[in-house]
A and B are shown apart, each in its own frame.
Chain A
């Protein structure tokens, strides 16, 4: 008898490209950004990454457009723009 155990494997996009859910797109205005890290800290989706210089970058394939990053940014450096 062969026993098959269903084991799920980790994968980005387990629910597909969740960026398609977005109604508003967060866009970082880098001339205002003071690199405080709060958008990265509070993104529930882990859809903001920090590059080698710790500059935040939004991963639009997966960003669901919740707007928390824009709400928490202390210098209002993130604009929410209506998706087409």
Chain B
């Protein structure tokens, strides 16, 4: 793509400030940096308890050049909906109210508020950064931790499957739902810009590989994120007014021979190092079946 191509999409202006408390190689920092660039800083963030509550900075300092409201877990989506209504009453246009929440805060603890706001079609953008566990409290499993992954509460590997949250949100028939990855920032930024053109509920599910919690070296965050997409374990798509579309690299992976074997992704991460050959084949089969279902969606759209 080259520098010119990148700068055509990604503004130079920074809204996430350096010297913040995030871990080296943090995917939440990457995601926030891209999100705020996409929004040109015209946003109010609502953030439930998570690693990001730390990253936004120790009082009296903030690491973000936008207003942030730290809020209790169960209240993020409803609070954001309220702020959005208040801005309308005050006649303030052009400011996007965004929930930025982790997987635990979204798929477990905040799910009813999220579902309520989606059903009411509240005018907010909800971004779930999915690092697949409760990282800030020390790597406990969530309903978005994948099958087989070690966490401190699944010492032999998780036995349940990962909840398919973006599709659950899409079933609320909201105008815009997308998946994204910190390894594909251009795709993410274009999706954020597309999402905020819609009035109503927008949802972006951002895959966010965490070096600390997934047990890989800090220099591999982007590499692991890309491998999730290249192996087809994580799929980049968007659903606009019910119309499904694969995006970026995922759109060229329908042919199974184009996808890398899942082990290329799994073997970089300590959280999967105990997996048996059978576990790995099971994960591969699940990925193949998921892509068969995606094929059906592509054909229907």
Contact = CB atoms under 8 A, between A and B. Distances in A.
A36 B17 contact: no
B62 A11 contact: yes
B21 A66 contact: no
Contacts of A59: 18
Interface residues of B, number: 42
Interface string B19-34: 1111111110110010
B24 A71 contact: no
A10 B6 contact: no
Contact of A10 (B27, B59, B62): B62
Contact of A16 (B12, B19, B27, B219): B19
B155 interface: no
A36 B2 contact: yes
Nearest to A64: B24
A36 B5 CA distance: 9
A35 B18 contact: no
B219 A46 contact: no
B298 interface: no
Contacts of B91: none
B219 A71 contact: yes
B286 to A, nearest CB: 29
Nearest to B225: A42
A18 B25 contact: no
Contacts of A38: 6
Interface in A15-70: 15-18, 21, 35-38, 41-42, 44-47, 50, 54, 59, 61-68, 70
Nearest to A48: B18
A44 to B, nearest CB: 4
B60 A66 contact: no
A15 B21 contact: yes
Contacts of B221: 44, 66, 68
Interface size class of A (residues with CB under 8 A): 35 or more
A1 interface: no
B10 A41 contact: yes
B222 interface: yes
Given A15-B20, A16-B19, A67 B217 contact: yes
B63 A54 contact: no
Given A14-B19, A37-B3, A8 B24 contact: no
Contacts of A9: 60-62
Interface of B: 2-3, 6-7, 10, 12, 14, 16-27, 29-30, 33, 56-65, 68, 185, 211, 217-223
Give 8 closest A-B pairs by Cβ, nearest first: A67-B219, A13-B19, A62-B18, A66-B24, A14-B57, A14-B61, A66-B25, A37-B3
13 contacts: A8-B56, A12-B18, A12-B19, A14-B57, A14-B61, A14-B63, A41-B6, A44-B27, A44-B30, A45-B18, A46-B17, A46-B33, A63-B18
